[in-house]
Amino acid sequence: MEAHLIEMLGMLLRWLHVIAGIAWVGSSFYFIWLDGNLDPVPPGSEEAGKGVSGELWAVHGGGFYNSQKYAVAPARHPEKIHWFKWEAYTTWLSGTALLVIVYWMRAQAMMVDPTVSGLTPAQAVGVGAASMIVSWCVYDLLCRSPLGRRNRVVAAAVFGLLTLLAWLLCATLGGRAAYIHVGVAIGTIMAANVIFVIIPGQKRMVAAMRAGRTPDPADGARGRQRSVHNNYFTLPVVFIMISNHYAATYGHPHAWAVLALISAAGVLIRHFFNRRHKGARPWRYLAVSAVLFGAVAVWTAPHIQALPPVKGPVTLDRVRSIVGQRCVMCHSQAPTFPGITQPPAGVVLQGAAGIVQNAQRIYQQVVVTRIMPLGNASQMTDDERAVIAAWVTAGAPAQ
């Protein structure tokens, strides 16, 4: 019952995380789009006299909308202001809770990989937690440094920082855990931008309006810079959220570089849309992103490592014996491996039928990507992988 409750809690947290993430990413996309589509107000017009710098007319759902942006702030403090913050807070809180349940509480299975490093589960969790905190601190220092006044330079520096983080995590944690913790580090930066920079700056601007003072334009500039950064972070983070389904990426010998290429493609796609919203036709960014994805596809293409020759007949019973010794501890109706409460991906390999049915999946994960067993915790040998490869290549006979 305890395992089932944990599973249900994880399901609800994942659902909440996705819903809140959609709301956060949606608002980020909308406001960057809105900012790029504002039309300047005519000089001398009533709107210009009120401090409006741009406006947009839109129609949606049968109604007309008129959005206006002030150069600094309106002369009169509005009675009601909507704050865009809870989407960010809820996304980060639910995501971090999910990280704890799925990865930190099951660190032995989900984070530790003896073939990568000799970390204990506690040490692996410590590395993961430190990556979140240190990433934000270094990022924030970069933005507050003189580099922060040069957008392209600070963008390159941040990309380098996150690529370094990916390299370090891939050298200490299992591939899936490394990717997820890069994503959580980026998510922490995004949420911290809202908590520590954007919202405090907006509060100071509102307080100045209420006191009859002119708000400090620097608060608006800093908030906009961090909002733009968050906008460019979105597509890499969304990829990382789904990356655990694609072992060819996180299971690659240079998984950190694969992630860097995919993230760069995501940033370029986002830049294309941001420029397109302003009326430009920057198709070259889409072209470069397509080249990057093509490079990833070629680089991660299956390359089966040489396996020793198989001695003796290859039968289902022989394969079933290997699977029973190396895989069933996780892939059973009642897993016995510490931290695993349900068979991963719903794949049950206890009986012959389950093995035959999942023969191609076994081959992909055990022979091609070699991701399974996770961290080779059950110490599957190359001789055993060779037997499985020979059986599947022969058509996975059910005998």
Are residue 215 and residue 112 in the same domain, yes or no?
Answer: yes
Amino acid occupying residue 255:
A
Are residue 220 and residue 129 in the same domain, yes or no?
Answer: yes
Are residue 225 and residue 284 in the same domain, yes or no?
Answer: yes
**Token pair for 396:** 């996975």
Q: Exposed/middle/buried for 276, CB within 10 Å: 0-12, 13-18, 19+? A: middle
Q: How many CB atoms lie within 10 A of CB 248?
A: 18
What are phi and psi for residue 55, nearest 5 degrees?
A: -145, 165
**Token pair for 268:** 């370029």
Are residue 134 and residue 203 in the same domain, yes or no?
Answer: yes
Rounded distance between C-alpha atoms, residue 160 and residue 171, angstroms: 17
pLDDT for 1: 56
Which of 265, 299, 333 finishes a domain?
299
Q: How many CB atoms lie within 10 A of CB 377?
A: 20
Are residue 47 and residue 169 in the same domain, yes or no?
Answer: no
Are residue 134 and residue 54 in the same domain, yes or no?
Answer: no
Would you say residue 380 lies in a domain?
yes
Are residue 367 and residue 285 in the same domain, yes or no?
Answer: no
Would you say residue 305 lies in a domain?
no
Contacts of 202 (CB under 8 A, 6+ apart): 83, 219, 223
pLDDT for 231: 95
Rounded distance between C-alpha atoms, residue 166 and residue 79, angstroms: 46
pLDDT for 311: 87
Are residue 132 and residue 44 in the same domain, yes or no?
Answer: no
CA 197 to chain centre: 22
pLDDT for 335: 85
For helices 151-170 and 255-277, what crossing angle results, to 10°?
Answer: 150
pLDDT for 2: 65
Task: Determine contact, residues 320/356, Cβ cutoff 8 Å.
Answer: no
Are residue 178 and residue 322 in the same domain, yes or no?
Answer: no
pLDDT for 129: 97
Are residue 254 and residue 350 in the same domain, yes or no?
Answer: no
Collapsing DSSP to helix, strand or coil, 333 comes out as: coil
HSE value, Cβ hemisphere, 13 Å, CA-based, for 236: 31
Task: Determine contact, residues 95/184, Cβ cutoff 8 Å.
Answer: yes
Rounded distance between C-alpha atoms, residue 347 and residue 160, angstroms: 38
Are residue 235 and residue 140 in the same domain, yes or no?
Answer: yes
Would you say residue 308 lies in a domain?
no
Would you say residue 337 lies in a domain?
yes
- Split into its structural domains, the chain has a count of 3
Are residue 130 and residue 243 in the same domain, yes or no?
Answer: yes
Would you say residue 158 lies in a domain?
yes
Rounded distance between C-alpha atoms, residue 241 and residue 381, angstroms: 31
Range of the domain at 333: 316-393
pLDDT tens-digit profile, the chain (399 residues): 566 787 788 889 999 999 999 999 999 999 889 988 888 988 888 888 788 889 999 999 889 999 988 887 787 777 788 888 999 999 999 999 999 999 999 898 889 988 889 899 999 999 999 999 999 999 999 999 999 999 999 999 999 999 999 999 999 999 999 999 999 999 999 999 999 999 999 999 888 888 888 888 889 889 999 999 999 999 999 999 999 889 889 989 999 999 999 999 999 999 999 998 888 889 999 999 999 999 999 999 888 788 899 888 888 899 899 998 999 888 988 888 877 777 887 888 888 888 999 989 999 888 888 888 877 888 899 999 999 989 999 898 887
Collapsing DSSP to helix, strand or coil, 239 comes out as: helix
What are phi and psi for residue 32, nearest 5 degrees?
A: -65, -40
Instruction: Read off the pTM.
Output: 0.86
pLDDT for 92: 96
pLDDT for 153: 95
What string of DSSP letters covers 79-142? S------HHHHHHHHHHHHHHIIIIITTHHHHT--TTT----HHHHHHHHHHHHHHHHHHHHHH
Would you say residue 311 lies in a domain?
no
Contacts of 187 (CB under 8 A, 6+ apart): 91, 92, 95, 237
Rounded distance between C-alpha atoms, residue 350 and residue 325, angstroms: 10
Would you say residue 398 lies in a domain?
no
